[in-house]
Chain A
């Protein structure tokens, strides 16, 4: 497994796109912190990057990479290696390199500028978001042999999580505005890793905004140790489940 992992990582590094991604993230983060006069504003700018750019790059790069390495995968399958191993190694390789890019690019300035609690939260959430969208990329690329279709699905999924989901939530809120749906809304956030991450980070950043009645309910849930644990657990689940589905498909797939 570790050898496949090594090859995957070497291949990705040779590809240079991840290195450029690291540099761009670094540029974004350093400029966000040095241009804004206070750290909180810089963190908010970064939050937008984490919640938009990081998922987009992770999902697109991973999908395309998987399609491009289909010959490599076929080659590996012809060897006496378990399919589980192949697929998991590629996942681990992609995850590790993308996470490494994120931590080097955005993590270092965050640690330098923000205070520790916020920094840990930002970095852990960014890392998880990366893993989640790599995982979703695996799912969308296993669904179809057609490359254009697979990449299309990836883009649509990104659009859904980044934009459409919030629109839907807003729509639901207005439809059910007359009912006490605050608690249900906490549940609904579980269906979008981006929303979940955003609320987790915001509760760390500017509590005042979230402190309305709804904010109080969020704080009651996400602010407690149990809530924090549960939301991290959910994020882990998001990183694991799509990949697990794809693994199941891959094991039986006729390549």
Chain B
């Protein structure tokens, strides 16, 4: 009997601790979101029903759940930041948030989170905002299943899709981002994960990392962005199973690595980029089991890169597999598959018996003298290349894969 009473009381208490629920909508008790927000306490839930809400800047200062039913629209009328979150433990879910203002001084966003913990932003549509979701000095934020669409024309006229600054332990999962300056932007963000996002048709980078250590990104698709993906000035990043596709143009890279150290890249696919991977000043990077397919340049590895290991990758149908800008080679190539390899395998151990020099003379010439591209696939150049392959004189001799694979690696 006493036990039952305890259970009842316990249930009652838990019910209490869930807080109360406020309904907002045209036919509900509260007509505006703001009127409900005035009354909420920590732990309350505000359910917003379908409709358009133009209420200026909505600021959340309590730990609440703001949930949209039938995808209500919150409109900033191009004058306000739409939704500002200034409390911990807030959940925003199921809205369409559109038309934030444009200001380069205080960077208004569709949803902007200020110095908060445990915020969840789930399943929202962010449409035509300056910044989509802006995370400023936060910890443990989950951004999941959002669709962020903007219509930027020039880099300076549009913000980033998901902009994260000075934060820690973020999870960015399954978002679809297009038309922004950078799809996802990380600056001073640590211990975070970017997983299963699709970032495409952004003006600058699909994903942009600056000074963001110990992060990982897995299984994302970066496609047709102005300049591909850039990871800069960062340590210990893990990049796995991502797809970098169709990043066209002279300054476009599938993946740009600048001043990067101690990173691990595996299972990534680089398909039809002008330059699949560009490495500048990067060291101690392990690239294993990636696929470079149908790119202009597979791997542009500058002479200032050191101690990188390029092992077990597939190079298929690239115009140039590798290019570099100097004679110094401090990186190792081992057991890759090169479709241009013409060697043989007498002992049938699946490893070619003669070493492969992935750097062609012509790629060196083009690096020094870009207009030489004019002679691409000319008979003259093919002749030069063949003789250089036999007796390397202009290309660095130690730029070599001593164990080239005979068969494609099954990835």
Q: B274, A211: Cβ atoms under 8 Å?
A: yes
Residues of B with C-beta under 8 A to A214: 370-374
Name the A residues within 8 Å of B393 (CB-CB).
none
B380/A199 in contact, CB under 8 A: no
Q: How far is the CA of A252 from the CA of B249 in the complex (A)?
A: 55
How many B residues have CB within 8 A of the partner chain?
28
Chain A residues whose C-beta falls within 8 Å of the C-beta of B320 in the assembled complex = 209
Whether B374 contacts A212 by the Cβ 8 Å rule is: no
Residues of chain A from 171 to 221 with CB closer than 8 A to chain B in the complex: 173-174, 177, 181-182, 185, 188-189, 195, 198-199, 202, 206, 208-216, 218
What does DSSP make chain A's interface, helix, strand, loop or mixed? helix
Q: How many angstroms from the CA of A79 to the CA of B319 in the assembled complex?
A: 59
Total interface residues in chain A, CB < 8 Å? 36
B381 contact set on A, CB distance < 8 A: 166, 170
A174 in contact with B369 (CB, 8 Å) = yes
A169 to B371, CA, bound (A): 10
Whether B319 contacts A167 by the Cβ 8 Å rule is no
Task: Give the contact stretch, choosing among A45-53, A68-76, A117-125, A226-234.
Answer: A45-53
- Tell whether, in the assembled complex, residue B375 and residue A209 are in contact, meaning their CB atoms are under 8 Å apart: no
B374 touches A209 (CB 8 A): no
Q: A177-B368, A177-B369, A182-B370 are in contact. Are A210 and B375 (CB under 8 A)?
A: no
Q: Which residues of B contact A38 (CB under 8 A)?
A: 317
A210 CA / B370 CA spacing, docked (Å): 10
Q: Are B249 and A166 in contact (CB under 8 A)?
A: no
**Chain B CB within 8 A of A163 CB:** yes
Collect the chain B residues with CB atoms within 8 Å of residue A177's CB: 368-369
Closest B residue to A181 by beta carbon equals B371
Report the number of A-B residue pairs with Cβ-Cβ less than 8 Å.
88
* Residue of B with least CB distance to A38: B317
List the B side residues contacting A218 at CB < 8 Å: 373-374
Specify which of B272, B365, B379 is in contact with A208 (CB 8 Å cutoff).
B272
Task: List chain A residues, Cβ under 8 A from B249.
Answer: 211, 216
Across the interface, which residues of B come within 8 angstroms of A47, CB to CB? 377
Contact A212 B296 (CB under 8 A): yes
Q: Is A86 an interface residue (CB 8 A)?
A: no
CB < 8 Å neighbour of A167 from B296, B365, B370, B380: B380
Distance in Å: Cβ of A157 to nearest Cβ of chain B: 15
Given contacts A181-B371, A182-B371, contact A212 B366 (CB under 8 A): yes
Answer yes or no: A134 CB below 8 A from chain B CBs.
Answer: no
- The answer to whether B376 has its CB under 8 Å from any CB of chain A is yes
A206 CA to B248 CA in the complex, in Å? 13
**Chain B residues, CB < 8 A from A209:** 296, 319-320, 373, 376
Q: Which residue of chain A has its CB nearest to the CB of B295? A: A208
Nearest-neighbour CB distance to chain A for B408, whole angstroms, equals: 11
Distance between Cα atoms of A202 and B381 in the complex (Å): 15
- Residue ID in chain A nearest B273 by CB atoms: A208
List 9 contacting pairs A-B, 8 Å CB cutoff, sorted by A.
A44-B377, A166-B380, A170-B375, A185-B371, A185-B374, A198-B377, A209-B319, A213-B250, A213-B370
| Contacts beyond the supplied A166-B378, A170-B381, A199-B374: 9 A-B pairs with Cβ under 8 Å | A170-B375, A177-B368, A195-B374, A198-B378, A208-B319, A211-B249, A212-B274, A214-B371, A214-B373
Interface residues, chain A, with chain B CB atoms under 8 Å away: 38, 40, 44, 47-48, 51-52, 162-163, 166-167, 169-170, 173-174, 177, 181-182, 185, 188-189, 195, 198-199, 202, 206, 208-216, 218
Rank and list the top 5 A-B pairs by shortest CB-CB distance, nearest first: A209-B319, A166-B380, A208-B296, A214-B373, A166-B378
